[in-house]
Amino acid sequence: MDMLLSRVLANPHSGSPTSSATTQMIERCRRRVLEFLNASPDEYTVVFTANASQALKLVGESYPFQPGDQFLLTFDNHNSVNGIREFDRARGAETIYLPVRPPHTQPLHSGGSEHHAGTGGRSAAGVRLYGDGRPVVIHHHAC
């Protein structure tokens, strides 16, 4: 809070000194997120969005779904997660629903605690659903 009360900040990515300071703070935040996730900045990009719905829409719009890919999700999701189905279907991918076990909606699966979705055998990190059903979106730089 002190930082907000003691500094003048501006929109990032323009030429003013206050804008440069804001850009530096945002880049520092990106590095800290990558460090927290133990993710290399050479391989991953952190993108800040207004909310989860906007982030999921960006994933749906930009993920390189192809015929033969599979998008895995649980039956019970936020509408924004379900909305990604429309992007995978439009590009010929298949939507697969993972059964869940009430009352905690734990995904039922064999082996491992992590399911990769939408990768179609490629090395992209894609959308991952973890054992407790949390969707985590990680964009892996395409080569």
pLDDT score for 36: 93
pLDDT score for 2: 84
Cα separations (Å) of 92 from 60, 115, 135, 136?
Answer: 13, 20, 22, 23
Task: Say what the pTM is.
Answer: 0.57
Cα separations (Å) of 141 from 44, 109, 111, 133?
Answer: 6, 29, 28, 25
Cα separations (Å) of 4 from 7, 50, 51, 52, 73?
Answer: 6, 19, 21, 24, 39
The CA distance from 65 to 89, in Å, is 9
pLDDT score for 119: 38
- Are the CB atoms for 37 and 30 separated by under 8 Å? no
Q: Which residues of the chain have pLDDT under 50?
A: 110-143
Mean pLDDT of all residues in the chain? 75
**Which tokens sit at 21?**
């300071």
pLDDT score for 132: 42
